[in-house]
Amino acid sequence: MKYKVLNAHYYQLRAHSGFTLVEFLLYIGLMALIVGSITTLASVVLKSRVKANVTREVEQQGNFAMNKMILVTQNAQSINTPATGSAATTLSISTYNSSENPTIFDVQSGTIRVQRGAGLAIALTNNRVTVSGLNIQNTTATNSSTLKIQFTLSSRTTSQSREYNYSKTFYGGSTIRK
């Protein structure tokens, strides 16, 4: 008798040990929700990383170009162009080293360049950014030769995605040391 009861109980448990359709659909729905959440999170993290890289590139390139222009002009002998009280898109200075005269900063094909004397023009910015609106204003007073420098740097991209688009305007000033 005891054997029959155990055997009947075993078959009864075995008959109900599978998943029902409702349980199966619930598990599938939970898994889809978890996978969807992980995918969304990964997408947000990747977009944030791309935006940070683009921002860092523009910031580094702009700071480098501005610092280079300020350093070179601080150690210059005189300002050739722009004339006192005017603005220009090109800066020409005379240095104490005659082989570097004139030293010229300009924008060519969206790149800030420097040319020292008869040498080749060297790009100060790379091909991942584009320069626009270079404006150099000569605000020289009686006792000091002073320049105000302004330009806008933008990330160079063909993508319409806003993660890849970033622009910043850089401002600087320089006084020639005498």
Which tens digits make up the pLDDT trace of 131-163? 998 999 998 877 778 899 999 999 887 666 666
Alpha-carbon distance 43 to 113, whole Å?
A: 38
pLDDT of residue 97: 86
In a domain, 4, yes or no: no
Range of the domain at 132: 21-175
Residue 121: φ, ψ to 5°: -70, 135
- CB proximity list for 167: less than 8 A, separation 6 or greater: 58, 152, 153, 154, 155
In a domain, 15, yes or no: no
Q: pTM, whole model, 2 decimals?
A: 0.76
| pLDDT tens for each residue of 110-127 | 999 999 988 899 999 998
What is the chain's percent helix, strand, coil content, to nearest 5? Answer: 40, 30, 30
In a domain, 111, yes or no: yes
Total domains in the chain come to 1
Alpha-carbon distance 173 to 80, whole Å?
A: 17
pLDDT of residue 2: 52
In a domain, 13, yes or no: no
Alpha-carbon distance 108 to 120, whole Å?
A: 13
In a domain, 118, yes or no: yes
- CB proximity list for 120: less than 8 A, separation 6 or greater: none
What is the average per-residue pLDDT within 33-56?
A: 91
Structure tokens at 46: 């990747």
